[in-house]
Amino acid sequence: MASRSMRELDRVLRTIAVKDVLVCLIGESGSGKDVIARYIHDLSPRRASPFAPINCAAIPETLFESELFGHERGAFTGANQLMRGKIEAASGGSLFLDEIGELPLAMQAKFLRFLEHRRFTRVGGTKKIDADVRPICATHHPLDEEVRRGAFRADLFYRIQVITLTIPPLRDRPADVPALIEQFLSELTARHRTPAPQLNRAAMAALRSYRWPGNIRELRNVIEQLCLLRGGKPVRPRDLPIAIQATAGGSPTPDASGIHVALDRPLEENIDRIIEATLTLEGGNRSRAARRLGIGLRTLQRRLAKER
């Protein structure tokens, strides 16, 4: 990454990755905490063993203990066979608890006990099972606030504060946007088997200037959209999502048909925008699009050829 904050973070990550210590990552939703957790694992001596992620916000409270510790056959209705939990799945490797602040209070006590003794019991079982895993935690907001309002145990809070790292949001490191775009283009063009869209300087400037409330996740979605809709074609600011266009100096205004025009842009750009929107409305059928626009098919084809 190009930004100073991410270069410094990378230096710290490389230092702590080889040390078998618990790491807690703090950052906004979509800021890449899961990617960094995986990065820590891949740099660690445990890299050849499993990396087991668990999203604490996505698991119903009644299923959490079974998901984490596993269960024995017959432990409850529907438990027709033994199931190993995420801790066993991560044996020898890393256990990533994303959004640990969403861990139910009852489970917090059990997880703390596991951290202290590195052993657990499956639901419905009596045998103590040793587990050699490296826990990595993440949260989108400081947990001390949750402790103050009684939603997070203070003893668990202090137990996981061995190494705490804050991941800066993308809006605070615009210098990283081009490198992330290059990474996403490589990944997504291969996945969708499309040629890469060609971003011009103005489009890249707009992407760098945008505030990215959805962080890296939002940027990736935008690049995927461009790969699918503009693969192999030039990308100008007007080809970007409406919210991003505003950062390039435009003031997109929707007309009655739902087509967006920018009143402070050249007429030529708005004509292209209307043509593209009309083609979309007509499912790509050029003949119907020409009739809707009130122009001849050859005129439309010449315009499209000029645009490309």
For each of the domains in the chain, give its residue range(s) and CATH number, in order of start. Answer: 4-168 (3.40.50.300), 170-250 (1.10.8.60), 251-308 (1.10.10.60)
Measured CA to CA, the distance from residue 192 to residue 200 in angstroms comes to 22
**224-227, long-range: CB within 8 Å, 24+ apart, which pairs?**
224/184, 224/188, 224/192, 226/197, 226/199, 227/185, 227/188, 227/189, 227/192, 227/194, 227/196, 227/197
What local confidence, expressed as pLDDT, does residue 159 receive? 95
Check: CB of residue 85 under 8 Å from CB of residue 67.
Answer: yes
Predicted confidence band at 263 (pLDDT cuts at 50, 70, 90)? Answer: very low
Judge whether 68 and 107 are in contact, CB under 8 Å.
yes
Predicted pLDDT at 267: 61
- Which tokens in the block code for residue 298? 């050859």
- CA dist 210 and 206 (Å) reads 6
Tell me which H or E stretch contains 119. strand 119-120
99: left (phi over 0), alpha (psi -120 to 50) or beta: left
Q: Which two tokens stand for residue 16?
A: 């702590």
Residue in the block written with tokens 């087509």: 259
CA distances from 23 to 71, 136, 159, 240 (A): 27, 5, 11, 37
**What is the value of pTM for the model shown?**
0.75
Question: Over 50: is that where the pLDDT of 231 sits?
Answer: yes
- Of residues 214 and 263, the one with the higher pLDDT is 214
Is the predicted pLDDT of residue 66 greater than 50, yes or no? yes
SS3 121: coil
Please report the pLDDT score of residue 275 as a whole number.
81
Cα–Cα distance for residue pair 205/245, rounded to 1 Å: 10
For the CA atoms of 109, 111, 117, 120, the dihedral, rounded to the nearest 10 degrees, stands at 110
User: What percent of the chain has pLDDT above 90?
Assistant: 65
| Two tokens, residue 67 | 């998901």
